[in-house]
Structure 1
Amino acid sequence: MCQYCPTASNPADLLTRGVTLQQLKTSSIWISGPSWLTVLHLVEISAKAAPARLPLVIDVSTVMKINRFKWSSLRRTTALLFCQLRNFRLKKEWIRSLLTAKELLHAELQWIRSFQFHFLSAELEYLRGDKNRRRPPLVTQLDLYLDENLVIRCRGRLLNADISRAAQNPVLLPKNTDLTRLIIRYYHERSLHSGISIAICHIRRRFWIPSIRPQVKAIVLLYTTCRRVNGPPYRAPNPAKLPSFRVRGDKAFAVTGIDFAGPFPIRAILTSKSQRQDLTTANFLLAFQSFNSHHFQPRIVISDNATTFEWDITCNKRPELRVKIGDVVLVHNEGPRIDWKLAVVEELIASPDG
């Protein structure tokens, strides 16, 4: 990452802008570089607030702009920065090697301590020993404490659980900060955009963020991929217009609907006591014939196309159920069964197989 470097801190400007040889020999910037390379904005801690054995807290947020990085690249860049700072302090040959897990963890702790120092200052001062001030609510709610790295952690109630120490005592992160948003984005992408609950589960293995669900939800909605997959439900189309036979006047039972429901302890129009015990196709036709004999043949019959309304081939094996002249039958066609017409048998023609 390249940014503007002021002239007073840029050794290259000595040559491009022109200086004398004597000025170049006595220039501290040309010999050892700018002062912030070795100081790196150290934030001093008073002796009363922290023991002498504790290291100074380095505020890396004043050196790097966190919103230009992802969480993974931020850790690597910070680790490389500290490695280069270590090389500047060495008088012998520089150490050039790949980053180790210990160096990445050290860089991560620097960012966590920096944001806790800025956004959790009341809790930090109280945990360092300043008991004169009022106890912060988070200290009581989460049972906070300082670990050996000056990082605020939560004790919680999972100390006896068979999980890692990081999950038992997660690191407390301030809510609605740039660092928190980077970590949420990192774990959401690492879980392959699996949703809000999965991202929270991965985050809480190491970190504790107050009011985490609204923050994760706000970040997940920024991803186009998640908005496509977890979009609003499909809107049902507008209801169609009612058919003409349902809205125009006609005589009773000209349009008849058929369905089975129950059992109900009543005597129905279409069924008798013996017919309710069997809902086969043959018994339905007998009931329908009985209905026609009491009223008249309907012009339209509407059904839900249940199997009971279909003629069973086994009925042909029972002589009493064979089709006879004068029976009312459904005429099969290639259209939907709801459009099949009713007809009266006027003539029977036997097939070759009987």
Structure 2
Amino acid sequence: MAPLQGKYLPTLELLAVFLAMKFFAFIKESLKDIPIKGVYVITDAQVVLSWIFADFVQTKNVFVRNRLQDIAQISEKVKTDFNIRINFQYTSTDDNPADYITRGLTIKKFKEKFSLWYEGPKWIRQEESSWCHRELGCLSKVQMKRIGASVNYAAENEVATSEVKLEKFSSLSKLISVTSLIFKLINKLKKRVMDPELQANAYLIKTMQKQSFSRELDFLLDPGGNSMPKLMKNLNLFLDHKGIIRSMGRIGESEYHSYEVQNPILLGKEHYLTRLIIQEYHQRSQQLGLATTLNEIRLAGYWIPQARQVVKNVVSTLCEMQTL
């Protein structure tokens, strides 16, 4: 799986995290008689953590993008199959026993470091809340707050127990506002710091995609066990690091547009959430017409199959309601 070209250290560090995730199923089977509540993937590569915790990664390195997608998919599968959360954690190089193998050391030095090799760093046996007090230059303050917390999509799934009835909301802003309050409460109860609005947006999108694109999602999670849906090939679909289905568009290599515009989120053409999104951007465009609304939706980073007809139907319905 190692890239043939450009074997830069951060890329290989990312590969190490990916391989650790790949081995989880084997480790779980070997320890099947031992209950596992959570898994911690610990690395001393700050750049890798910044990639994993970023909302999106702007890089032309296809290998990096693919491995991040793989990590997200494996984390999702572990959560679904075993109800176990994957947590990503940082350790300093001095506290990383894996370096003993890769860098080498004398027998005398190994004896001095034997306790670290055999038992791991001292802080790993302390309360988890004390693990993150380290200066991480490559991570933003928001990303720092995510260290030690479960990855975003694991937290997003928790709101499923408090079913959000989309049809009860007449606007997208109200729906996101109420869903954000639910996540805010969950975050408070679990004593973690995450952006509830980002969680709400991701949860709503993923809920819609599970309902509208179940075949495509099954194929993306397990390409070997399912036949490729037609939409996969037509729109070049992929899963991002949050487990959201996106379309790799024709302008994917453009540096002018943002990641969201280059790789728009796929919306179900008949789903109620799509209707609310169309309604929202129709209002933002000052109700100037079909073409303007379509442009606003695409610039916002969404893609709707047969978009023109779908938007036309929604806008026509809105106009009829306003004339009543």
**TM-score when normalising by structure 2:** 0.49
Task: Tell which has more relative contact order, 1 or 2 (C-alpha 8 A, sep 6+).
Answer: 2
**TM-score when normalising by structure 1:** 0.45
- Bigger Cα Rg: 1
